[in-house]
Amino acid sequence: MTITELMPFSVLVPLIASLVCALLPGRFWPWAVTLAAAIASAIIAALTLPAAAQTTLSYAFGNWPPPIGIEYRVDAANAFVALLVAGMAAITLPWAKKSVDKEVPERQGTFYALFLLALAGLLGITLSGDAFNIFVFLEISSLATYGLIAYGSDRRALLASFRYLIMGTVGATFLLIGIGFLYVMTGTLNLHDLSERLPEVRDTSTVRAALAFIIVGMGLKLAMLPLHLWLPNAYTYAPSFVTVFLAGTATKVALYVMLRFVFTVFAPDWSFVVLPLSTVLMILGVAGMFAGSWVAMFQPNIKRMLAYSSVAQVGYMVLGVSLVSVVGLTAAFLHLFNHALMKAALFMAVGTVIYQVGSARIEQFRGLGRTMPWTLTAFALAGLSIIGVPLTAGFISKWYLIQAALDQGQWVLVALILITSLMAIIYIWRVIEAAWFKQREPDQQAVGEAPLTLLIPTWVLVALNFYFGIDTRLTVGGATAAAEALLSGGLLP
Amino acid sequence: MMTALSFFNYWVVVILMMIGFYCVIARGNMVKKIMGLNLFQTSVFILFISAGKIVGGSTPILREGVEVYSNPLPHVLILTAIVVGIATTAVGLALAVRINEAYGSIEDDYIAEEEDGDGQ
């Protein structure tokens, strides 16, 4: 079996395992099957990345040759994102066991089946080379996500899920309209084939409208600033494990789809000229960085604070894209990877606190630095990464972002990036202040350190934050290859 | 002949889409929101199906004496999209039922008041 034949299994394994999972009773086996499927997926994705970085892998489903059949077409860009998604699932699942047992005591078979569907959907989006297939996988992962969010114990989880369903469906339908317009103009749905046939017809209002629809649709899914309204509630009220996984993967995959369309399908020398994309994305990115960080500073609920911080981090990625250069795109891909690491570590630390204390409100963090030193130290160290302190992964991505801005002489952007990093210090500091410099109130319950099954996965992610801050061969190498793969389609404007 | 009327299907698509979108945004009742979402999705289905029709084309079945036939692919795609739409509606309605159990209402205004009571 060659790597090309193996690669589709990273989608098929979770898809089939979800069926098995839905039928399993009890609490242990659904989780065990999910973990095994996620690890298998991650291993396949890890094997795919080096092969895809050398040549583009293409697998034709059912042996129907593309562009007629559905093709999985994997280059450095999707292999990088697929490794991130499958890897995050495999790393966070060991943590999930205890947290999910507490927050979702019943019907865990269905819960893990939905999780596997979401995972299969996200991986399908990244690997597929067929536009309509991407839409179907997007809806598979979204529908599973709505179900997962509704599992939250607070009744507001239902509202958050419903609102996400409305906005997410509108976003996905916009993508469908865009794909429809492209199909009408070219008669093909294969992304590679589209990129070859589009240049002949692209100076028509239909194709321009398609570009606009796809950008707005994916902007919704990716929580780009004015379209981010679904995200804070969804992240706040979902079960902790769902938040950890979504924060690490869902918005990243949406960003990937947007980049795939803007850069590969419509060449950047067209898409960035016909629409003022560079300006629009830059303004929205910077606005997202500021608004997200600003609102995060005043949130009494730490999960919601981190959710707004995610809106800000998406801003950094969008800003990297808006610079339309290899370094800028590299920064976007780097931040996509590093942000998944740091935000998952932060949400896991907060989830551990919720496991012990039962709430993520800032008052509940008082004095925890002494009674739960390992959990809160993990939070503080992952916080350093989100601020962008040297030797952490967050520093590397901000470094590349600043370099990309400097290459174009955009001094203002550099200042803005530094200011928003200072705002990150403030919101992370609030937690540290409560945890170490305030006493626990007498009426608050005293808690001890969390169990090791929660601490070890959290610390693995914290360690990865520092590892990828020092040894950047995998991340920078992968991100550069991904950026070059996307830009190979067309010349820069 | 290219008149405004020859784009009849597309006019219907635009009108349906806007009615659906308006319902999603303006209606406070969650079931009505889902109905709006359905209209919105259906309009896109009509867009795809209309694009597959070829004037004077027959049904896409291989038989004697037929040279021109409509494009069958949009129909197949939309069959899938309809399934996705039904799944979305089902999940949305299931959530509406759960919200009704939790809040005693599916009206946005009423729930917003309740939500304020829940605190942060």
- Scanning A24-107, the segments in alpha helix (DSSP H) are 28-54, 76-103
C-alpha closest to that of A112 among A196, A214, A33:
A33
The reported pLDDT for the residue numbered A203 is 85
End-to-end distance of chain A based on CA atoms, in angstroms?
Answer: 42
- Which of the residues A162, A183, A364 would you substitute to probe the B interface, choosing the one with the greatest number of B C-beta atoms within 10 Å? A162
Indicate the angle between helix axes A326-357 and A393-407, nearest 10 degrees: 150
Distance from CA of A140 to the nearest CA of B (A): 8
Report whether A322 contacts A281 (CB < 8 A): yes
> Do B88 and A169 make contact, defined as CB atoms within 8 angstroms?
yes
pLDDT confidence bin for A493, thresholds 50/70/90: very low
Task: Check the CA dihedral A264-A265-A270-A271 and report its sign.
Answer: negative
Which residue from A139, A158, A159 is facing B84, i.e. has the nearest CB?
A139
Distance from CA of A182 to the nearest CA of B (A): 11
C-alpha closest to that of A435 among A371, A347, A341:
A371
Torsion, Cα of A22, A26, A32, A38 (10° steps):
30
The reported pLDDT for the residue numbered A131 is 92
The reported pLDDT for the residue numbered A489 is 54
Asked if residue A323 has pLDDT above 70, the reply is yes
- The per-residue DSSP string of A441-476 comes to PTTSPP--PPPHHHHHHHHHHHHHHHHHHH--HHHH
Looking at A65-74, A290-299, A342-351, which range is the least confident one?
Answer: A65-74
Q: B114 to chain A: nearest residue by CA?
A: A156
Residue at A25: amino acid letter: P
Residue A159 lies in a domain: no
* CA gap A361, A364 in Å, rounded: 5
> Do B48 and A147 make contact, defined as CB atoms within 8 angstroms?
no
Report whether B29 contacts B108 (CB < 8 A): yes
A16 Cβ contact partners less than 8 Å away, ≥ 6 residues apart: none
Which residue from B44, B77, B102 is facing A158, i.e. has the nearest CB?
B102
| High-pLDDT (> 90) share of chain A, % | 61
Which residues lie across from A72 on neighbouring strands? A59, A128
Average pLDDT over residues A222-251: 91
The b-or-e profile of A60-94 (16+ CB within 10 A means b, else e) is: beeeeebbeebbbbbbbbbbbbbbbbbbbbbbbbb
Distance from CA of A305 to the nearest CA of B (A): 12
> Do B37 and A166 make contact, defined as CB atoms within 8 angstroms?
yes
ipTM score: 0.93
Average pLDDT over residues A256-277: 87
Report whether A322 contacts A328 (CB < 8 A): yes
List pLDDT tens digits, range A153-180: 888 899 999 999 999 999 999 999 999 9
List pLDDT tens digits, range A93-134: 999 998 998 888 888 899 999 999 999 999 999 999 899 999
> Do A156 and B118 make contact, defined as CB atoms within 8 angstroms?
yes
Average pLDDT over residues A464-468: 92
* CA gap A331, A423 in Å, rounded: 20
- A 10 A CB-CB count for A452 gives 11
The domains of chain B are located at 29-53+69-120
Average pLDDT over residues A322-331: 89
> Do B102 and A155 make contact, defined as CB atoms within 8 angstroms?
yes
Looking at A139-153, A247-261, A264-278, A377-391, which range is the least confident one?
Answer: A264-278
Distance from CA of A296 to the nearest CA of B (A): 14
If you ran DSSP here, which 8-state letter would residue B2 be given?
A: -
> Do A162 and B102 make contact, defined as CB atoms within 8 angstroms?
no
C-alpha closest to that of A150 among A171, A165, A137:
A165
* CA gap A425, B41 in Å, rounded: 44
* CA gap A90, A183 in Å, rounded: 37
- Which of the residues B34, B86, B91 would you substitute to probe the A interface, choosing the one with the greatest number of A C-beta atoms within 10 Å? B91
List pLDDT tens digits, range A354-372: 998 888 888 888 888 888 8
> Do B44 and A169 make contact, defined as CB atoms within 8 angstroms?
no
* CA gap A292, A307 in Å, rounded: 9
The reported pLDDT for the residue numbered B2 is 60
> Do A169 and B77 make contact, defined as CB atoms within 8 angstroms?
no
Q: Which range, A42-56, A172-186, A437-451, is most confident?
A: A172-186
The reported pLDDT for the residue numbered B117 is 67
> Do B44 and A176 make contact, defined as CB atoms within 8 angstroms?
yes
Residue A201 lies in a domain: no
Query: What tokens does B75 get?
Result: 């129909």
A271 Cβ contact partners less than 8 Å away, ≥ 6 residues apart: A211, A262, A263, A277
* CA gap A289, A423 in Å, rounded: 10
Residue A47 lies in a domain: no
Q: A159 to chain B: nearest residue by CA?
A: B99
Asked if residue A492 has pLDDT above 80, the reply is no
Write out the residue range of the structural domain in which residue A290 sits. 278-493
Report whether A91 contacts A84 (CB < 8 A): no
- Which of the residues A68, A125, A166, A230 would you substitute to probe the B interface, choosing the one with the greatest number of B C-beta atoms within 10 Å? A166
The reported pLDDT for the residue numbered B119 is 60
The reported pLDDT for the residue numbered B99 is 92
Q: Which residues of A touch B109 (CB under 8 A)?
A: none
> Do B44 and A180 make contact, defined as CB atoms within 8 angstroms?
yes
Residue A413 lies in a domain: yes
User: How many helices (H) does chain A have, and how many strands (E)?
Assistant: 21, 2
* CA gap A202, A212 in Å, rounded: 13
For A204, counting Cβ atoms within 10 Å of its Cβ (0-12 exposed, 13-18 middle, 19+ buried), the class is exposed
C-alpha closest to that of A433 among A441, A425, A423, A421:
A425
The reported pLDDT for the residue numbered B118 is 64
DSSP run (H or E) holding A320: helix A302-322
pLDDT tens per residue, chain B (120 residues)? 566 677 888 899 999 999 999 999 998 899 999 999 999 999 999 999 988 888 877 888 888 878 888 888 898 899 999 999 999 999 999 999 999 999 888 888 888 887 776 665
The reported pLDDT for the residue numbered B5 is 74
Half-sphere CA count of A228, side-chain side, radius 13 A: 24
Average pLDDT over residues A379-393: 92
> Do B118 and A139 make contact, defined as CB atoms within 8 angstroms?
no
Q: How many domains are contained in chain A? A: 1
Residue A38 lies in a domain: no
Q: Could you give phi then psi for residue A444, rounded to 5 degrees? A: -85, 140
Which residue from A159, A301, A361 is facing B99, i.e. has the nearest CB?
A159
